Structure 1
Amino acid sequence: MSDLPDGVTRRDVEGRERLCTRGRPVYGEPTDGDWRVWDASRSKLGAMLELGMETGLTGGESVLYLGAANGTTVSHVADFAGPTYAVEFAARPVRDLLEAAEPRSNLFPLLKDARKPATYAHVVEANLDVVVQDVATRGQASVANRNARFLAEDGRLLLAVKARSEDVAERPEEVFDEVRSELEERYEILAESRLDRFHTDHLGIVARPR
């Protein structure tokens, strides 16, 4: 099992060991004092950590989170990270994201399209430590490649690939092969793991810029 970043721990909550961060609850998750459960079945990054993937996260990183939705995962990220930029395209979940960001001074919601990084390049700082991507759209590798511009040379991409968003008819293994091939234009893949224990037909990838 890989080491967890500072600010993330495992605690006994409701009779079993659960991944937790310290912060204000967002989605009605179980808590233990100041600690809130990080439910891997609701979070691709949480699943990557639960499965022991070597994400390279240590705590305190600067983060660009693509596909923040209503803030379920990115709120946990902001609990242990440094400045965290949360990009979400749909207006409705951004309302929840704004609520999640209210008590977190390091969480910056952006109503933007992750496929168009030029629209938020004036806001997001350069040389970030981490890009986390969970975008349910076609062209997930393309999104990652376009956003590589924000990463430091020794930064990390933590990507959750949803096969059904690329092609509902194609076998997930074939989709993942295609995503890997395109991703390797800009990244070196360091680790990968199927996330099916928590998320069907998903692949977690850890990569660094070439």
Structure 2
Amino acid sequence: MKFIDGTLVSPGKGGVYGERTLGEWRIWDPYRSKLAALVLKGTEVTLDASVHVLYLGAANGTTVSHVADYAGTVYAIEFAPRPMQDLIEVSRRRKNIVPIMADVNRMQVYEPLVEQVDFIYQDVAQPNQVAIAVNHLKFLKRGGTYILMLKTRSVNVREDPKDVCEASVQALEAAGLVVQTVQWLDPYHRDHAALVCRLPED
């Protein structure tokens, strides 16, 4: 990831969502992207052309577009028709994005289309966020990274967000992931925790 004078940027050509630019660099807005917020909070995230990504919950393609600026192939899964239209438009300008309209709870639909990847990024506002992550581990190479953007209020609106987070960490570790970092994303995104995980080599 590159910073210019303390500002996180990505090396894409042409704006996607009206973002500002610095020369040929796009400014990556942490209020629009939880991944940008995670990086600006001090967590190192490695993306380069050798890294192939499965992105769950691609929405309109805001963060997907920045990820694609750095990464190799990005398989972008989105279910809602309206955001999917925007995502398809983004993919026309970034040929390494593979937009797939599908429900992350029915991964058998896209399993034949997606290779094993080095990096999975999940940003899905559903109660079963941890179960979705566990079910998608089959797509992750050994030694790969899994980042779950945990929307605690979507899991349980009545429970303390920290308790939701702790239970989620325990469930991910029970499934075989190593949770390396738990980073709350305030002030950019309230009650959101980024769980940065690694799948051990063996």
Return the TM-score normalized by structure 2: 0.94
List 4+ stretches of structure 1 deviating above 3 A.
none
Q: Distance in 2 between matches of 1:26 and 1:176?
A: 32
Cross-structure match for 1:94: 84
Match of 1:77 among 52, 61, 67: 67
Q: Distance in 1 between matches of 2:114 and 2:57?
A: 15
Q: Distance in 1 between matches of 2:35 and 2:106?
A: 23
Superposed CA deviations along residues 153-204 of structure 1, whole A, max 9, x for unmatched, are: 0100011101111111111011111211211123111111111121100111
Cross-structure match for 1:35: 25
Q: Distance in 2 between matches of 1:53 and 1:174?
A: 22
**Structure 1 position 179 matched with structure 2 position 172:** no
Match of 1:145 among 110, 113, 134: 134
Alpha-carbon shift at residue 32 of structure 1 (Å): 1.7
**Structure 1 position 62 matched with structure 2 position 52:** yes
Q: What is the SS of the residue equivalent to 1:141?
A: helix
Q: What is the SS of the residue equivalent to 2:181?
A: strand
Q: What is the SS of the residue equivalent to 1:73?
A: helix
**Structure 1 position 11 matched with structure 2 position 4:** yes
Q: Distance in 2 between matches of 1:136 and 1:44?
A: 13
**Structure 1 position 194 matched with structure 2 position 184:** yes
The runs of 5 or more residues in structure 2 that have no matched partner are none
1:148/1:186 contact within 8 Å kept: no
Cross-structure match for 1:25: 15
Alpha-carbon shift at residue 113 of structure 1 (Å): 1.1
Cross-structure match for 1:163: 152
1:41/1:199 contact within 8 Å kept: yes
Q: What is the SS of the residue equivalent to 2:113?
A: coil
AA aligned opposite 1:207: C
Structural RMSD (CA) = 1.2
Kindly, what percent of the aligned residue pairs are identical? 42
Return the TM-score normalized by structure 1: 0.90
Which sits farther off after the overlay, 78-87 or 44-53? 44-53
Which sits farther off after the overlay, 186-195 or 70-79? 186-195
2:32/2:62 contact within 8 Å kept: yes
AA aligned opposite 2:15: P
The runs of 5 or more residues in structure 1 that have no matched partner are none
Q: Distance in 2 between matches of 1:113 and 1:179?
A: 21
Alpha-carbon shift at residue 100 of structure 1 (Å): 0.8
Alpha-carbon shift at residue 58 of structure 1 (Å): 4.0
AA aligned opposite 2:7: R
Match of 1:136 among 110, 121, 125: 125
Q: Distance in 2 between matches of 1:139 and 1:173?
A: 17
Alpha-carbon shift at residue 143 of structure 1 (Å): 0.6
Q: What is the SS of the residue equivalent to 1:122?
A: helix
Q: What is the SS of the residue equivalent to 2:95?
A: coil
Which sits farther off after the overlay, 72-81 or 109-118? 109-118
AA aligned opposite 1:172: P
Aligned residue pairs total: 197
